[in-house]
Every structure is written in structure tokens, then in C-alpha cells.
Structure 1
């Protein structure tokens, strides 16, 4: 499949079809308060860091990649935050509001249209994101990864899952594997990268599940169990992600791999 990948700042007319592109995100993910507050503002605030892929045959949008610039190497930060995806978005918007110089780019999302998945397009979007950050003068790209297959093992702690590899050291998870083959290294686990709290009625609406028992509930596409409290009438989901770091001293193609998404990237 031949595609053209364009910065949104160069083709702002792609914004509407970009948002209209179908995706496979579970409904509850959109209820994270940080994401709800900031995510849709990324294309207008950081248009140079938004990439859109269009099919060369029909011009339809088939993938998008969001990233944001932020200041990491400043007092009070220095290390990648345990708050992961949500915290780095807050840092990016805070830095933009204050006019602070930035030194690092974080991936926020790579999404491929469902009918175009499985063709290596996510890896191509990652390569384009790396190149875009380099072209804009940055030397490091970081990403809070949402591992592709972690939802199949929600009870396994993320530190155990993230570092799982075969005898040759090849990572088990396809999305982690794609990043490491592109030159990234695992930095740490973002223990509370996304937090979604809601009433039991809301969780039933978002997931179609009963939420009628206390304790951890396994929810499709959730990376960890959702904690349900019947007496108080609410449930909370705390999603861990995996921080990886890409040094951008050189660029190159990313090996093809099954499509995956970081809330990131």
C-alpha cells in the first residue's frame, strides 16, 4: 500500500477527515480526564507534530500520529514521569502556554484505520514520527507505549510483562518489539499513565458489562483490571504504560510489525 505522510500544519484541510477516520479505541479510554481536556487540542496547538497518512489511490486518511514537544531537562522533571501519557500531555501544554523552550518530543498516539491494519503502517508512522522530530531539531523521542497484547493478560504486572523476551532477547510484545528494533530502549513503567473513574452506570454504558460484583473486573481492551466498589457506586481504571526512549542521532526505516498504538504511540 502506497501512502503519503504529511504534517497537518502543511495540509490543515486534512484535520476533518483525520478525525472522521474510524479507530478501534475502547470507549472508556476517551473518558480519561486529561485526554478529554487536552487530546483534541493537540492538532491546533502542535500542528507541526501531527502526521496524517493518506492512501495514494483514493486520498482517504488511513492513519494518524500525534506527538508533542515538552521540556524534560529542567528542574523538577529530569526523568520520565510515572504519570506517563497524561502527565506528559500536561507538561507539553503547560510549556506551550508559558513559552518555555522544549528539548524532547513524546509520542501520544499512532492510530491506523481498522481496515488497513496488519500491513506495517504503524511502523511506518513511527518512522515518520522519528524523522519529523529530527527535522524539527530534536534529538530524542520518547513514547508511553500501550503494549499490543497486554490486554490479554490484565493480571500480569506491567514490569513483568514489559521486559518479557525470548532466549535471544527479542521482546514478546509486538509494539514494544517494533520500537526496540527501531533503536529505542525501555526506560521505565509509567504506573498510572491513564486514570478513568466513573459511576457504575457509566462503566456499564462504556463497556456493556454488569459491574455487579466488588473488586477487580476484567474489561475487554483494558491493560489491567478495573476496580469496582459497589458500596460507593463507582469504579476506577488505572492503566500502566511502558516508557521507551529513541535517540535521534540518525534516522532510518522501522521494520514492519503488526500495527499497534501507543496512547500513545
Structure 2
């Protein structure tokens, strides 16, 4: 497959192509992060250079990835708390005139029919190249380990260390980053916080939530805490900080 990388905003993509590309991306409850909703408009307006699409020889988008530029001192303690805080730091840093030196890779998706062909890795490499070519000296990512959903009771600090018999990471997304020489830095136990009413969570998860308490939810990397008296469910999603450069 011959691929070309271009900015996602370089053209208007057919709706059916985008629908296919994003058809199996993230669970519906991801949209319940209220702080992301507050900042995402400015992210899209101010940082389109870090939103890239991989296009095949038939001019079809087959993968996409995006990130935000932030200022980071290179220490584990100085990292954003996770995905959401990265968006906040990028936006507020721009508003204050702080020059960024680090790209935070926020996500990557691949057309479902083409998974397993290395396109996710190619997307990460495209973002990494773009960062270095623009003068950013570091590239990090709050990685969402999808296999963690099978082990919602296991702390992320434990899960991120799990290895297969061949020594590679148990989680395939962590493994993809490691194949590109990225290293695990630390856990981000509350990378995002999703909040909604009980009715909203029942819709997002497809589960009845009859009592207050903690619930295992489909595609959830951790437990959902439900407070029926307050009519609220809160889910904190863990990620793993990894450094590429």
C-alpha cells in the first residue's frame, strides 16, 4: 500500500469515508468528558497542523492521528495529568504565549478493515516526524490500553507492566508504541473524567444501573461509580504515559 500523509483539513472528506474510518473508534461515553468539551473547539481551531490523515493510492483515508503541542520540562512530575490536561495545557499555553517544545499524541484510528497492517504505527511515525521537523524536541503520548477493559479491577500501574511470554507488552496498543522504541514513563490513573446522569450512563453502557455503587461497564478500563441519590455516574479513565523522543 502506497501512503501519503496530509493535514486532515487539506480537503473536505466524503462523509461515507469518514464514517468508515471512525466506525470502530471509541466508546460513546468518551464524549462525557466535560473539560474536553470546553477546550476541544480551541484545539481544533488552533492546532490543525497536528491533525494528520494517511491516504492510500485511491485517495481514500485509511488512518488518522492527532496531537497537541505543549511545554514540558522533561520530568515525569512535570507531565500533564493525562489526555484532558494535555488539551488544557496546550490551549492555555497558547493563550499565554508559552512556546511549546513537546507534541502530545492524543489519538490514532485505522479503518477497521485494514487493522493489522501496521497503519497505526505509520500514523504514530507521521506525527513524530511532523513534530521533529517543526522543531519540537519531544514526543509523548497518554496511551489508552484497550485490553485493559478486560481487567477493570486491576490498577493501571500493575497492568502497564504485564508482559507476554516473549517479553513484549500484553496490551497491543502499548506494544505498538514500544515497537517504535517508545518507553513507558508512568501511569495516568485519571487521564480523563467522564460524568453524566444515571440515565445517560444506562444509555451509553446499555446496562441497567439500579443501585448506587461501582459497576464494570463495556469498554471501560476502570469501574463506573454511580450515585443514584445525586443522579450521577463518574468514570475516570486510566492511560499510560509513553515517550517516543
TM-score, structure 1 as length reference: 0.84
Distance apart, 1:168 and its partner CA? 5.2
Count of residue pairs brought into register by the alignment: 243
Shift of residue 241 of structure 1? 0.5
Is the 1:23–1:111 contact (alpha carbons within 8 Å) kept by the matching residues of 2? Answer: no
**Alignment partner for residue 210 of structure 1, among 208, 211, 215?**
208
- Does residue 51 of structure 1 match 2:49? no
- Structure 2 residue ranges without an equivalent (≥5): none
Whole-angstrom CA distance in 2 between matches of 1:39 and 1:113: 23
In 2, Cα distance between equivalents of 1:108 and 1:94: 17
Post-superposition shift, 1:6? 1.0
Partner of 1:6: 6
SS of the residue corresponding to residue 219 of structure 1 reads coil
Equivalent position SS for 2:149: helix
Counterpart in the other structure of 2:228 = 230
Structure number with higher relative contact order (C-alpha < 8 Å, ≥ 6 residues apart):
1
What 5-or-longer segments of structure 1 have no aligned partner? Answer: 248-265
Which residue is 1:80 aligned to?
A: 79
2:67 counterpart residue number: 67
Instruction: Report the 3-state secondary structure (helix = DSSP H, G, I; strand = E; otherwise coil) of the residue aligned with 1:156.
Output: coil
RMSD: 2.3
User: 2:43·2:87 contact (CA, 8 Å) conserved in 1?
Assistant: no
40 and 3 in structure 1: CA distance in 2 versus 1, 3 angstrom threshold: farther
The reply on whether 1:151 has 2:149 as its aligned counterpart is yes
2:242 match: secondary structure: strand
Q: Distance in 1 between matches of 2:94 and 2:15?
A: 24
- Matches of 1:60 and 1:36, distance apart in 2: 29
Kindly state the Cα deviation for residue 12 of structure 1 after the two structures are TM-superposed: 4.4
